[in-house]
Structure 1
Amino acid sequence: MKKGFLIDMDGVIYKGKEPIPGAVEFIDKLRGENYPFLFLTNNSQRTSRDVCYKLRQLGFNVDDEDIFTCGMATARFLASKKPSGTAYVIGEGGLLNELHKVGYSIVDDNPDYVIIGEGRTIMLESVDKAINMVMNGAKLIATNLEPNCPVGNGKYRAGCGAFVAMLEFATGKQAFSVGKPSPVMMRMARKTLQLTTAETIMIGDTMSTDILGAGSMGFTTVLTLSGVTKEKHLTQYAYSPDFIIKSVNDLLTEELFNSVLHRQNEYVPSGL
């Protein structure tokens, strides 16, 4: 049985402006041994090409096709439900570009959907307009529901979920979210690699998105403690990953790598 990998990025293969030790070598291993992989991100700000450029600058041997964003998942989902639809968007270039790719028009009046993505320059005027559109019948879509995003040095900024919550409270309408842990994005990513459920392995650093989403789909789940979720957080969850590692550097060990491939002998690093 072939196996393939869905891999989160921030906190898994890089942190800030530096690759996590062993991450470049791990991706080289997957490439060299012909294991298909796809990077998943809940950030809709950048296009896959922009993300690929950043990874290449960090030393990763990747192509545009190796990136799958929640903006891509959102655009494809909406196109499957209402081809050639219209949308009012609070977000940035990556999301807008994906919507244009699937034939959507970005409008300022009477849209089919109001779509909320990440943005560093969100204006209250735009939020007010979105509220009125939803109240008048537009459907509310979230690229993801993450409440905040780490920006380095222990600091955070408001995430897409924070703005979505404001619109939900103001309109009384619940948003439909396409990004992790939604099965929509997880299923699309799996199908992109042409894998079955049993062939899919998810590596992530966040229990509430990566591990919850992949585990709910029946994928093999690998939690790395190099990012958001730490050892002290694990008791908060009623679910658990199949494997817990310190970082992807651990997966350069053949014994562990093979255990993950065959979903055998749950691995927990020494000291946990």
Structure 2
Amino acid sequence: MSTAESELDRVKGFLFDLDGTLVLGDRRNNGLRPLPGALELIDWLRRREVPFVVFTNGTTRTAGGYAKLLAELGFGFGDDEVLTPASSAVEVLLRRGQRRVVVLGGDGLADPLRDAGIEVLPPRGRPTADAVLVGWYREFTMDTVEAACHAVWQGASLYSASQSVFFASADGKALGTSRLLCAAISSVTGARVTVVGKPSAHALRAACHRLGLPARAVAVVGDDPMLETPMARRGGAVAIAVDTGVSGGEEYADLPPGRRPHLRLPGVQRLLSILRARS
């Protein structure tokens, strides 16, 4: 057993990324297919009653919508086993008493807010709101960006589902929208952007709440060196990186030891082999 693998001794639950870790889809996050070993790994954990959640930075669907889609692929996820930035956004907004929110995104981002009793305002005109929340929104126009700016000028906080430039797809790296839109709004208004998805502490906290475990007892498994590994490291969790998504592994080479993943693997199939050998 390697020293790196011994970090798994403290792991009682898992937080998995989705795109590039368990599945790959197209540039619009459709046509998802399981990656090698992903179905078997989830089944192995479930049969041993090891808790796990999936946290995707995608907001094209609600957590329930992702769970339904993944169930059709054979994963059998329940709604409570999937989180999105909308999940952590709800926790942050309610904790801060922000109940009127302009949403730049679709129902996958807006519906969880509505379900939590938060008033969702369209990005139109000059809305007065407590916050602006930006997610996947390729349908944006100059008018919608201008409306968000007016809300911020009137005092609204600016939140982003994700500040990642890319996400993994079967066609290679695909460009996201949250960072682009937040960059425009922030540049014009001077507002500070608060990230509620990965790699924020808000995302890790929401996942740990769902798992019922402290961060140090959780392994975070993902493909993006800018997301899962830094989130895990900063939060005291075990960081496991896989090479099946946006990273080929070279991004970790120049990092100091304290910022590298505890384990770097070719994919989740290898993680399943390690867990089986240790069980």
TM-score w.r.t. structure 2 length? 0.87
Deviation readout 1:34-67 (Å, 9 max, x if unpaired): 0000000111221112101221222112111110
Distance 1:92 1:113 in 2: 16
Partner of 1:70: 85
Contact 2:166-2:173 at 8 Å conserved across structures: no
Distance 2:70 2:44 in 1: 16
Partner of 1:270: none
Partner of 2:160: 142
Distance 1:257 1:179 in 2: 33
Partner of 1:7: 16
2:95 is the alignment partner of 1:80? yes
Deviation at 1:107, TM superposition (A): 2.7
RMSD of Structure 2 on Structure 1 (CA): 1.8
Matches within 5 A, 1:104-115: 104-107=118-121, 109-115=127-133
2:239 is the alignment partner of 1:221? yes
Contact 1:113-1:138 at 8 Å conserved across structures: yes
Distance 1:113 1:20 in 2: 37
Distance 1:55 1:246 in 2: 22
Partner of 1:188: 206
One of 40, 44, 48 as aligned partner of 1:29: 44
Matches within 5 A, 1:166-177: 166-177=184-195
Deviation at 1:159, TM superposition (A): 2.6
Distance 1:235 1:206 in 2: 14
Q: Comparing 23-32 with 178-187, which one deviates more in the overlay?
A: 178-187
Q: Comparing 30-39 with 123-132, which one deviates more in the overlay?
A: 123-132
Q: Comparing 231-240 with 162-171, which one deviates more in the overlay?
A: 231-240
Partner of 1:264: none
Deviation readout 1:98-133 (Å, 9 max, x if unpaired): 111211112352111111111121121100111122
Contact 1:76-1:102 at 8 Å conserved across structures: no
2:116 is the alignment partner of 1:102? yes
Deviation at 1:148, TM superposition (A): 3.1
Higher relative contact order (CA 8 A, sep 6+): 2
Distance 1:255 1:63 in 2: 23
Letter in structure 2 aligned against 1:111:
A
Call closer, same or farther: CA 1:172–1:251 in 2, change over 3 Å.
Answer: same
Distance 2:137 2:255 in 1: 30
One of 253, 261, 270 as aligned partner of 2:273: 253
Deviation at 1:256, TM superposition (A): 7.1
TM-score w.r.t. structure 1 length? 0.89
Distance 2:222 2:135 in 1: 21
Deviation at 1:201, TM superposition (A): 0.8
Q: When the two structures are aligned, how many residues end up with a matched partner?
A: 258
Mark the runs of 5 or more structure 2 residues left unpaired by the alignment: 1-9, 26-31
Q: Comparing 229-238 with 44-53, which one deviates more in the overlay?
A: 229-238
Secondary structure of 2:101's partner? strand
Q: Percent identical across equivalent pairs? A: 27
Deviation at 1:155, TM superposition (A): 5.2
Distance 2:60 2:171 in 1: 21
Contact 2:221-2:242 at 8 Å conserved across structures: yes
